[in-house]
C-alpha cells in the first residue's frame, strides 16, 4: 500500500527550493531579527539589545512597511538561504535557521499551531519586551540576555 501522506513543504524542500509564499510563511513573526545588535570588534561576540528597528510594530512583531523596508532602513538584512546559513546572530528559535539545520519546527510556530498568536503566547516573540530605536541614545544601556 502506498503512503499518500505528504510532508509539509519545510520538511520536503530546502530553503532554496521554497516559493516566495512558502519562504515568507516560514517566518514565525517573533521580531528578534529586527532588534539591534552590538558586535565586539575584537572578539566578534554579539550582544543583543531590546531596541527595535523603528519599523517594527511592537504589537504584531511584524515590519510596518515590509515591502519598502530597505528604502527606509539602509542596513536592514533581507534574509535569503545563503544569509541564513552564514549569519551568526540569528536566534536559535528562528524558523529559517531551524529548517536549515534540519530540525523540526516547534509547536508554537504558526505553521504548526495554525495561528500567528502562538509565538506570542509561548513568550518567544519580542512583544511587550522592546523599545523603539527612536527613544534610545546608547544601545549599550539596553543589552539583554533573553534573545535565545
Residue 62: half-sphere exposure toward Cβ, Cα within 13 Å: 13
The pLDDT tens digits for 46-104 are 999 999 999 999 999 999 999 999 999 999 999 999 999 999 899 999 999 999 999 99
Residue 146 has what pLDDT?
84
- Claim: this prediction has a pTM higher than 0.95: no
**5 has pLDDT over 80:** no
User: How does strand 46-52 pair with strand 131-132?
Assistant: parallel
Contacts of 23 (CB under 8 A, 6+ apart): 15
Every domain of the chain and the residues it spans: 13-144
With vertex at residue 19, the alpha carbon angle to CA 14 and CA 23, rounded to the nearest 5 degrees, is 70
User: How does strand 46-52 pair with strand 35-39?
Assistant: antiparallel
Amino acid at each position: 500500500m502506498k503512503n499518500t501522506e505528504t510532508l509539509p513543504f519545510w520538511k520536503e524542500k530546502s530553503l532554496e527550493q521554497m516559493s516566495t509564499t512558502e519562504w515568507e510563511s516560514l517566518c514565525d513573526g517573533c521580531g528578534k531579527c529586527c532588534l539591534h545588535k552590538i558586535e565586539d570588534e575584537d572578539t566578534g561576540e554579539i550582544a543583543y539589545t531590546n531596541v527595535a528597528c523603528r519599523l517594527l510594530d511592537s504589537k504584531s512583531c511584524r515590519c510596518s512597511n515590509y515591502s519598502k523596508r530597505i528604502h527606509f532602513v539602509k542596513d536592514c538584512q533581507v534574509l535569503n538561504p545563503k544569509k541564513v546559513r552564514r549569519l551568526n546572530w540569528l536566534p536559535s528559535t528562528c524558523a529559517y535557521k531551524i529548517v536549515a539545520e534540519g530540525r523540526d519546527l516547534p509547536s508554537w510556530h504558526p505553521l504548526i499551531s495554525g495561528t500567528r498568536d502562538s509565538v506570542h503566547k509561548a513568550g518567544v516573540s519580542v512583544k511587550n519586551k522592546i523599545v523603539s530605536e527612536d527613544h534610545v541614545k546608547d544601545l549599550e544601556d539596553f543589552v539583554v540576555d533573553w534573545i535565545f
